[in-house]
């Protein structure tokens, strides 16, 4: 048991899928897992462990932002000896070539956050995913007929940013989309020599007026969820 997760060590799989919204975790457990049980209710940050195609996996919520992701991924890696975490979430596109409802694989995360430095003195502002897991996901995407794109994301600490930030991140830092958690996940995986990857569905765009509704964000992301599930059980 850790500070923020009440589960016993044996109640959490070595393979974990994480997402920001606790209700999305509940949806995944109810729709896809067999013989599942709720393993965490602390702060309503719901977690569930059950069987997907006879493989034991855990689905855990992580909240919003690098600090929140940092807490849960740290405790999963350090206190529960989790081997691999795949994040599934949503992102806003900076590019006309990456449209709403596209599924992307974030392989590089740039951030102006101080998360790296405050973690271990690391002054870099780029963290990377695990190439082995990424390749598994890419292979599975072909079976799912998903045209998966590898992208670089801006992992922002601020949701309501100035209007010129998207232009700056696209033109100066070559970021394709923005989200808020991947930077901390990749950093903690690096610290503990574990594996982490991130799948994102584009929920809105800075170059069009398209947007997913709240209901679609909670329950309409089935393609990404199924890709993550089928990928993690092969590891």
Q: Which residues pair with 199 in a beta bridge?
A: 88, 105
Query: Is a pLDDT exceeding 70 seen at residue 220?
Result: no
Q: In this predicted structure, what is the pLDDT of residue 218? A: 62
Alpha-carbon radius of gyration of the chain: 16
Query: Is a pLDDT exceeding 70 seen at residue 18?
Result: yes
Residue with token string 């790296």: 116
Of residues 65, 64, 61, 31, the one with CA closest to residue 44: 61
Confidence of residue 210 (pLDDT cuts 50, 70, 90): confident
DSSP assignment of 164-175, as one string? THHHHHHHTT--
Of residues 68, 89, 107, the one with CA closest to residue 195: 107
Length of the chain: 235
Q: Report the share of the chain in percent with pLDDT over 90.
A: 89
Q: In this predicted structure, what is the pLDDT of residue 122? A: 97
CA dist 210 and 218 (Å) reads 17
**Residue range 144-160, pLDDT digits in tens:** 999 999 999 999 999 99
Of 21, 164, 204, 210, the active-site residue reads 204
Of residues 76, 88, 104, 83, the one with CA closest to residue 205: 104
**Residue range 85-110, pLDDT digits in tens:** 999 999 999 999 999 999 999 999 99
- pTM higher than the cut 0.85: yes
Maximum Cα–Cα distance across the chain: 48
Q: How far is CA 32 from CA 70, 161, 208, 219, in A?
A: 26, 36, 33, 12
Q: How far is CA 5 from CA 80, 85, 150, in A?
A: 10, 16, 32
Q: In this predicted structure, what is the pLDDT of residue 151? A: 98
CA dist 175 and 154 (Å) reads 6
How many CB atoms are closer than 10 A to CB 164? 8
Q: In this predicted structure, what is the pLDDT of residue 219? A: 59
Query: Is a pLDDT exceeding 70 seen at residue 217?
Result: no
Q: What is the DSSP letter of 211?
A: B
Tokens of 222: 């089935």
Least trusted range by pLDDT, from 29-38, 41-50, 77-86, 154-163: 154-163
> What would the mean pLDDT of 203-228 be, rounded to a whole number?
84
CA dist 149 and 145 (Å) reads 12
Active site residue 204: yes
Looking at domain 9-232, what is its CATH homologous superfamily?
Answer: Nucleoside phosphorylase domain (3.40.50.1580)
Q: Report the share of the chain in percent with pLDDT over 70.
A: 98
> What would the mean pLDDT of 71-92 be, rounded to a whole number?
98
**Residue range 190-202, pLDDT digits in tens:** 999 999 999 999 9
Provide the mean pLDDT of the chain: 95
Query: Is a pLDDT exceeding 70 seen at residue 79?
Result: yes
Residue with token string 């940050």: 45
Confidence of residue 213 (pLDDT cuts 50, 70, 90): confident
């Amino acid at each position: 048991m850790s500070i923020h997760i009440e589960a016993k060590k044996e109640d959490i799989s070595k393979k974990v899928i994480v997402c920001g919204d606790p209700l999305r975790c509940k949806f995944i457990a109810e729709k896809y897992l067999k013989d599942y049980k709720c393993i965490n209710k602390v702060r309503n940050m719901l977690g569930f462990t059950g069987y997907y195609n006879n493989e034991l996996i855990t689905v855990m919520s992580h909240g919003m932002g690098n600090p929140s992701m940092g807490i849960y991924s740290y405790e999963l890696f350090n206190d529960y000896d989790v081997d691999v975490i795949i994040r599934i979430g949503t992102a806003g596109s900076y590019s006309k070539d990456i449209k709403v409802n596209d599924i992307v694989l974030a392989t590089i995360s740039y951030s102006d956050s101080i998360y790296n430095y405050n973690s271990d003195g690391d002054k870099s502002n780029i963290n990377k995913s695990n190439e082995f897991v990424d390749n598994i996901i890419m292979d599975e995407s072909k079976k799912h007929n998903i045209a998966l794109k590898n992208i670089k994301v801006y992992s922002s600490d601020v949701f309501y940013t100035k209007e010129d930030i998207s232009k700056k991140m696209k033109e100066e830092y070559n970021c394709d989309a923005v989200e808020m958690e991947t930077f901390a996940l990749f950093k903690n995986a690096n610290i503990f020599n574990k594996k982490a990857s991130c799948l994102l569905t584009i929920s809105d765009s800075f170059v069009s007026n398209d947007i997913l509704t709240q209901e679609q964000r909670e329950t309409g992301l089935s393609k990404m969820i199924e890709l993550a599930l089928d990928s993690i059980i092969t590891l």
